[in-house]
Amino acid sequence: MDLVNQIRQATQELIYSKFQLRVDARDILVNETKPEFEGDYTVVLFSFVKILKKNPETLGNELGQLLTERYSHLFSGFNVIKGFLNLGIADKVLVDFLYEESGNKDFGRKNKTGKKVMVEYSSPNTNKPLHLGHLRNNFLGWSVASIYQANGYEIVKTCIANDRGIHICKSMIAWQMFANGATPESTGIKGDHFVGDYYVMFSNEYKKQMKDLVAEGMTEEEAEKEAPIMKAAQKMLVDWEAGDPTVIELWKKMNGWVYQGFDITYKRIGSDFDKIYYESQTYLLGKDLVEDGLRKNVFFKKEDGSVWIDLTSDGLDQKIVQRKDGTAVYITQDIGLIVNKYDEFHCDQSIYVVGDEQNYHFKVLKLIAQKLALPSSDGIYHLSYGMVELPSGRMKAREGTVVDADDLIDEMVRIAQTHTEELGKVQDFTASELTELYDTIGLGALKFYLLRVDPKKKMLFNPEESIDFHGFTGPFVQYTYARIKSILRKEELDANIQLSGKGLLPLEKGVIKLLARYPAMIEQACLEMNPSVIANYAFSLAKSFNSFYTEHSVSRAESEEKKLLRLHLCTLTARVLHSAMGILGIKVPDRM
């Protein structure tokens, strides 16, 4: 039941039948009534006042009278205050909704649309472990896919591993120089961390060599090019592209170590993919499309033989798509991959979850795809998100100052343990149950904190704040769910007793109205590709339930009917919190 849409449609019908004015229901602004006024929902009238040549008070009274007469089953009364029509919703409407939906396991989820959406996220480099920025990316991508699924779409989750290039060769060269044959197994270091350490070693050695060359009389620019370790990495890249067996063998071995490490982290954070693409297998894609684009005059060739596209008429500039030596650039691969993905999955829409530093790249990619008339090019969407920063500032991988994902998760679990033990309510838990609980709370706090902010915004991450059991946090919602489950374990719900639908108290009504909004929230989150809509909603629902439960007992309700009503309220609230947090990839424990 979507009350807002019902009010919009009823208002739309009456405006037409009374005034012969056609309006789009979506243009009718309906808000929840402010607490200081009487009513449940408010229709804003100002957009119609000028067209209908009526003052707001008169128009509001006419519409209110008609709405309460014609839709008496829906509305219990109205009042008009300065151009705002405040409508009361009949108790029976809300009680009937609660009774009908409390047993619906799929409440809020839409029917199948028959459409397919691909969400690409994570996209790590195979020369270092996942870090805090990757966590925001993974949580966003996974939850957006989950939101689309809840809206009836078939989902394909993909990742592209950036497993080739000079950055990969840097780790390989450093390993050859400094490892003395060491492996993750021999050192006891997780594979992605192990390889990442050599990437940092490369950077340190490169700086040292440049400093030495400058001391010998070179300019800084000359030293950057002439440093032996950089020359060795560049030669290794050439050898890799030429298929040198020794280089390929080392590349496979070191990438294998990294993938083993990634798999452990992905499993821990709940990230999964239907298909992983590898740059080493896709970097040559798109070269045929460049030739096709030249034939169609989408691209043009410069005198030096390089191939470009002119996007100045689209408000951008010229962009290279093939070097003068015939080698592909990064966007060439992306163009080819669009076709490759479509041929394999035939998706209607393709969402790329990539940081906002790549905004320009994706504008260019979509324009090129459209000009080449590639399949589903109009469905390309860049879900751009802001960087995660720490109180100390931005992170830098090559300097080893990145906040490592695994270390951060361990820290979150430790903080969860400390906070939970301070509350002192887990004495009857076994050791294994406590381990699972701390992990659930710690990871839930991390995910919720990173997802509660609109993706487009940059954010500052504060681990301690994210795990406050009384704040705008995941643990607050988890604790509310566990509290409800505790109530329901003690009381049995008799679904056969019918509720009369009379005498709702304000706090009961507030929770039920919020529950009724859940399907609209799932829809809004999908339209905006914004998991923070769900996170904010889950928090609001948990807060509203706690306000209700502080004032009104369930087990000692004023009557058996009140007790039954509140048990239905508890049941649906728990179901919706479980569903909403599940869409965010967050577990909710039955006990805390």
Summarised one tens digit per residue, pLDDT across range 103-115 is 899 999 999 999 9
Amino acid at 349: Q
- Average the pLDDT over 406-426 and give the result: 90
In sequence order, which residues have a C-beta less than 8 Å from that of residue 39 and are 6 or more positions away? 33, 77, 78, 79, 86, 87, 88
Q: What percent of the chain has pLDDT over 70?
A: 97
pLDDT-based confidence at residue 395 (cuts at 50, 70, 90): very low
The mean pLDDT of the chain is 93
For residue 158, what are the CA distances in angstroms to 90, 120, 336, 573? 47, 5, 16, 33
- Average the pLDDT over 77-96 and give the result: 94
Domain boundaries, the chain: 3-89, 165-257, 287-327, 413-454+462-583
Q: What percent of the chain has pLDDT over 90?
A: 83
pLDDT-based confidence at residue 253 (cuts at 50, 70, 90): very high
**Residue 524 predicted with pLDDT over 90:** yes
What does the alpha-carbon distance between residue 254 and residue 43 come to, in Å, rounded to a whole number?
62
Token representation of residue 179: 């490892």
Q: What is the pLDDT of residue 1?
A: 67
User: If you write DSSP's letter for every residue of 210-275 in order, what string do you get?
Assistant: HHHHHHTT--HHHHHHH-HHHHHHHHHHHHHHTT-HHHHHHHHHHHHHHHHHHHHHHHHHT---SE
Q: Rounded to the nearest 10 degrees, what angle do helices 560-583 and 518-528 cross at?
A: 10
Amino acid at 519: P
**Residue 391 predicted with pLDDT over 80:** no
In sequence order, which residues have a C-beta less than 8 Å from that of residue 486 and are 6 or more positions away? 591
Residues 519 and 583: beta-carbon distance below 8 Å: no
Q: Per mean pLDDT, which range of 162-171, 188-197, 282-291, 479-488 is the poorest? A: 282-291
What does the alpha-carbon distance between residue 486 and residue 491 come to, in Å, rounded to a whole number?
9
Task: Output the CA angle 193-194-198, nearest 5 degrees.
Answer: 105
- Average the pLDDT over 438-467 and give the result: 92
CATH H superfamily, domain 3-89: Arginyl tRNA synthetase N-terminal domain (3.30.1360.70)
For residue 357, what are the CA distances in angstroms to 134, 224, 382, 400, 530? 14, 25, 11, 21, 19
Q: Per mean pLDDT, which range of 45-49, 146-150, 333-337, 447-451 is the poorest? A: 45-49
What does the alpha-carbon distance between residue 245 and residue 252 come to, in Å, rounded to a whole number?
10
- CA pseudo-torsion sign 245, 250, 254, 257: positive
- Run of H or E residues at 156: strand 154-161
Q: What is the pLDDT of residue 460?
A: 86
- Average the pLDDT over 26-38 and give the result: 91
Token representation of residue 544: 């509203």
Q: Between 285 and 223, whose confidence is greater? A: 223
Q: Which stretches does DSSP call E strand in 446-512?
A: 459-460
DSSP 8-state secondary structure symbol assigned to residue 98: H
User: If you write DSSP's letter for every residue of 50-83 in order, what string do you get?
Assistant: HHHT--HHHHHHHHHHHHHHHTTTTEEEEEEETT
Q: Per mean pLDDT, which range of 200-214, 343-357, 489-503, 511-525 is the poorest? A: 489-503
Return the CATH number of the domain spanning residue range 413-454+462-583.
1.10.730.10
pLDDT-based confidence at residue 383 (cuts at 50, 70, 90): very high
Residues 459 and 453: beta-carbon distance below 8 Å: yes
**pLDDT, tens only, 334-365:** 999 999 999 999 999 999 999 999 999 999 99
pLDDT-based confidence at residue 396 (cuts at 50, 70, 90): very low
Q: What is the pLDDT of residue 392?
A: 62
Q: What is the pLDDT of residue 138?
A: 98
Q: Residue 6: helix, strand or coil by DSSP?
A: helix
Q: What is the number of H-type helices and E-type strands within the chain?
A: 23, 14
- CA pseudo-torsion sign 59, 61, 64, 69: negative
pTM to 2 decimal places: 0.92
**pLDDT, tens only, 319-331:** 999 999 888 888 9
Q: Per mean pLDDT, which range of 36-45, 160-169, 498-507 is the poorest? A: 498-507
